[in-house]
A and B are shown apart, each in its own frame.
Chain A
Amino acid sequence: MERFIDRLIDEFDSGKLGRREFCETMALATAVLASGGAAANAAPQRGFTMLGVNHISYQCPDYRVARDFYRDVFGMQVLNDKGMGRANLAFGPAPDSGGNFLVVHNPGNNPRPPTQGLVDHICFTVANWNEPQIKAELAAQGLAQRSRGGNGTMRVIDPFDFDVQFGNHIAENINEP
């Protein structure tokens, strides 16, 4: 770690790294150090070390409808909504410390052509899982008919018929298939 910080200071001194970048890099490095051991911090020979999902870009006919749905149903925080056809919906850890976000946006002027690969659903982890209460909240929001599942994993169809799954750490855990 000391060598890493030493190199950062060099880059700061030489003007390669700004004050903001320095602080962000230090915060990230500390978070990485906290979340894993030495092996996890070792740089790979080739390619990259994945830390996680940054964001998911969700395109729909009216971003305001999606914004309100994900805010109200999944408790996401609306950020950077300037009324210009897009908004960020933050969730999880702090935005600069591993937090995820959904970018909901209207179609742009140059939409990407369809591809052979596609994301057919996304799944969110819900902590402190309380299934009766979750079902009650969905019903209170008029989503009882658009949701299904149980025993730690459920699905809800969003206003644009996109399939959204959510579950707890027992039912949806790659380390415990």
Chain B
Amino acid sequence: MKAFVASKLDDYSKGKISRRQLLESLTVAAAATAATGGAQAAPAPNRALKAALVNHISYQCPDLRRVADWYSRVFNMEQVTYPSEPSQIGMPFGRRNQKPLGVTANDVPTSYIVVRTRNPNGTAADKGALARPASRAVIEHVAYTVADFDRDRAAAELRALGVQNVRNGGLYSLHMADPFGFDIQLSGVANNAITDGA
């Protein structure tokens, strides 16, 4: 799709096609791509253990409700509660049963954040989680992709929403602090494994 768009844009820039022709060709191509399922998933690996996507990020904090409400307010994320697990709330990216961006496989579900408040005196599961060896690695920040990202507009929107410590993160992104000071980065798809750190 990208190569096609680039080619049509070149034609338009050189005057080979009109604005109307550019608009029509891109609209038709976008609709056709969407109808055929969009970007294809990576070919099946010939190894069993291969990460296909982030499944979830487990985030621990002193007050899960406060964080969940913050994500819902800033990122319009739904909250999924678990009757058997009152100390956690799940928040999926996208709507129920919607395929993740760029994924066509049926066995790669929506990614989500699960917010937890661990209780040292709580259930066996809580205690088990705390019993792990102390990690010498730390997740310093997590970056999310949002639709229609424009850095200046996004910064203004975040500040209007009362988000703290909003600052630029290079050409393609913003950083901010969540209610417990954890660093969150926000970008569009322009910030990716190829462009980040290039």
Contacts and interface: CB of A to CB of B under 8 A. Distances in A.
Contacts of B182: 115-119
A56 B57 contact: yes
DSSP class of A's interface residues: helix, strand, loop or mixed? mixed
A49 B44 CA distance: 29
Contacts of A82: 197
Given A50-B94, A50-B144, A74-B49, A118 B109 contact: no
A80 B149 CA distance: 23
A94 B102 contact: yes
11 contacts: A6-B23, A34-B38, A35-B101, A39-B95, A48-B76, A48-B157, A51-B94, A75-B49, A126-B49, A173-B109, A175-B109
B76 A44 contact: yes
A79 B194 contact: yes
B198 interface: yes
Nearest to B25: A5
Contacts of A23: 2, 5-6, 9
Interface string A81-115: 01000101111111111111101010000001101
Interface of A: 1-2, 5-6, 9, 12-13, 19, 21-36, 39-41, 43-44, 46-61, 66, 73-77, 79-80, 82, 86, 88-101, 103, 105, 112-113, 115-130, 133-134, 136-138, 157-158, 160-163, 165-169, 172-175, 177
Given A88-B196, A98-B100, A101-B192, A33 B137 contact: no
A27 B5 contact: yes
B93 A53 contact: yes
Contact of A175 (B60, B92, B138): B92
Interface centre among B23, B50, B73, B129 (most CB of A within 10 A): B50
Contact of A51 (B80, B93, B137, B183): B93
B134 interface: yes
B53 A92 contact: yes
Contacts of B185: 54-55, 57
Contacts of A157: 132-133
A134 B10 CA distance: 47
B87 interface: no
B58 A121 contact: yes
B192 to A, nearest CB: 4
A51 B38 CA distance: 15
Given A23-B9, A93-B39, A47 B140 contact: no
B136 A60 contact: yes
Contacts of A25: 188
B29 to A, nearest CB: 8
A157 to B, nearest CB: 7
A48 B186 contact: yes
B145 A58 contact: no
Contacts of A56: 54, 57, 139, 142-143
Nearest to A19: B9
Contact of A116 (B45, B62, B142, B154): B62
